[in-house]
Amino acid sequence: AVYSDADARALHVLEADQAVHIGPASLAESYLNIEAIIEAAIESDADALHPGYGLLSENPDLADACENAGIIFIGPSAEAMRSMGDKSVARKLVGKHGVPTIRGYEGKEQAPAALAKRAAKIGYPVMIKASAGGGGRGMRLVEDKAQFEKAAESARSEAERSFGDGRLILERAIRGGRHVEVQVLGDEHGGLVHLGERDCSVQRRHQKVIEESPSPAVDDELRGRMTEAALAVARAVDYTSAGTVEFMLDADGEFYFLEMNTRLQVEHGVTELRTGLDIVRRQIAIARGEKLPFAQDDIEFEGHAMECRIYAEDPLRGYAPSPGRIDRFDVPQGEGIRNDVGTYAGDEITTDYDPMMAKVLTWGRDRDQAIERMQYALSNYRVGGVRTNLPLLRAVLWDPVFRTGGATTSFLDEELVPGTLAMAVTPHVLIAAFGFCLISGRDADPWLALGPLRAGGAARVNIKHGDRVYAVEGQRVAGSSNKWRVKAGNFRERTVRFAVAPGSHMVLEEADETTPLHVRWVESGGMEVNLGGSRYSLSLAGLERLRTESTRRQHGLTAPMPALVLKVLVRPGQVVRSRETLIVLEAMKMEHAIEAPYDGTVKDVHVKEGSRVKEGTVLIELEQDGA
């Protein structure tokens, strides 16, 4: 294994027989540094190198470097990677082999004005994509010409940092489409098979969140056409190893080539559960020159499988990354459940890399059973210390559109009711808030000026979550200092013991059940409770904290996450318009634009390009017109 400064205690380093340090946290100086990786392989006497997925996994220069160093590259040929890795070349090539492509542009003219003219000719909405990469980076959906140049500039900048190549291609955006991909496997002796399709339509920011196989939108006839098209793409470049051909399927049942990923996919486990094959083992065997031990007709597909990706991010804040130290990480166990994890309790999530922490997969005899098992798995996933997308995943798995197989690529943005993510409050959350008020003490916070405590060891507090107010009442158990009988709203009465650990951590002990939570006061006059990766914002009904001078900045725009300041686009005194980009941040390899929430004038700029900021740092002070 190899690792950077930021990953010195990463799980893959701890589990590897040998791990070699290759540089600082910066991608350019570590995981994108081909020379350092080859040196590490030579140092460890490796005779083969598996590139994993992401980063250099689709870079033909790494394959060439391995060959020059006498190291076997576990993947396709550099020629195949170059043909499919450059989207403009790939689109032209597959078109010659009869595979349909979306109307678009993949030419040499890359000036913003020239691309804008091409976009107008294609017709809006248009998808801008990085020619040299994927994974949602360097990709922007543009609704009209007014947005185009700004989106193109952002996509180009992100592509250059992620792939070292800022070239862009354009495609007509298909609304209400589905993202369906076909797994292929080829050897060096002409053997080539497909391993079925996966539906990856549930996406955020053009990155997959949930994958499943088979696709609920694909029947046998369509499956035959799509898999044959995928094999045609693979044959066009004499493909070897594992690869994935991705298609966009429209509402009329027509499909179009998107790209070929010349590497192992994050979601390969979905296919492994249905076929019983170990795709990584097959990659290694192919790299050793072995033939595929089976033909197409030998492959059996059984049941239904799906995968959910667990990210350290907050869906309620625009998927803002959530770095920090993980203080709890418990994965679910049960029949038909598989866990692929990359972290552990005590690990640190940084802003340097992708925020994916783990994957949870389920298999069932049919789709309904696979969904039921995934619902169970997500309900029993416990992550503490950082925010996660678990609330989003739970909302999707219970949503009727997804359950009936109707989710498209626009599902998360347009169809999933935003209110679904405002998770219904649980009794544990209300009881924890009640207990935190008791433990904090009358003088611990201005909120408690009236205090929840009453005579006789009884207490009552009204807790507000969203638009609802819950009366939470408790009675101390006789002879105990911290054991209480608590009734929260209409939930049943529970007898619990409150315990506090360092760092605002709290434990509820009820009979044989122990529930850890993280509770803290927030500056706005509220309370935040984190339970199992779900974050709840609460307040005490009727009370509001007096704002201090430091929190009175009504027009201060703050950093939504720890980040690097890439660009400062305004100066003090500058007049700006609503939704104009003021600052561009970078966190976890993605750009985040800080936009003006209204028309106004910049009063002050508190950061410089290249500086690192913490979550909540005031970036700009903006005075609203007419304020």
- Active-site residues, by number, are 263
- 3-state SS, residue 192: strand
Taking the C-alpha atoms of residue 359 and residue 474, their distance in angstroms, rounded to an integer, is: 40
C-alpha dist (Å) from residue 140 to 78, 108, 351: 28, 19, 22
Exposure of 158 in the CB half-sphere (CA atoms within 13 A): 29
Longest dimension (CA), the chain: 84
Instruction: State how far Cα 365 lies from the chain centre.
Output: 28
Q: E strands along 205-333, which residues?
A: 207-213, 241-249, 255-261, 304-311, 313-314, 320-321, 324-325, 328-330
Reported as type and span, the H/E element at residue 439 is helix 427-440
Q: What is the DSSP letter of 161?
A: H
Which two tokens mark 424? 């219904």
Contact 36, 30 (CB under 8 A): yes
**Token match 């850890």: residue?**
516
Which pairing describes strands 382-384 and 328-330: parallel, antiparallel, or unpaired? Answer: antiparallel
Q: Which residues pair with 514 in a beta bridge?
A: 509
Taking the C-alpha atoms of residue 228 and residue 231, their distance in angstroms, rounded to an integer, is: 5
Taking the C-alpha atoms of residue 315 and residue 388, their distance in angstroms, rounded to an integer, is: 8
Selection from 180, 199, 412 nearest residue 305 by Cα: 199
Taking the C-alpha atoms of residue 433 and residue 98, their distance in angstroms, rounded to an integer, is: 62
Selection from 171, 170, 226 nearest residue 197 by Cα: 226
Torsion of CA 572, 578, 584, 588, to 10 degrees: 140
Selection from 319, 428, 308 nearest residue 373 by Cα: 308
Total number of residues shown for the chain: 627
Contact 268, 242 (CB under 8 A): yes
Which two tokens mark 397? 């798995």
Residue 582 backbone phi and psi in degrees, to 5: -105, -40
**Token match 């049960």: residue?**
334
DSSP of 584-621, one letter per residue? EEEETTEEEEEE-SSSEEEEEE---TT-EE-TT-EEEE
Q: E strands along 449-543, which residues?
A: 458-465, 468-476, 483-488, 494-501, 505-510, 513-522, 526-531, 534-540
Contact 322, 365 (CB under 8 A): no
Taking the C-alpha atoms of residue 102 and residue 170, their distance in angstroms, rounded to an integer, is: 10
Selection from 301, 256, 303 nearest residue 409 by Cα: 256
Taking the C-alpha atoms of residue 69 and residue 67, their distance in angstroms, rounded to an integer, is: 5
Contact 179, 216 (CB under 8 A): no
| Three-class HEC string of 148-159 | HHHHHHHHHHHH
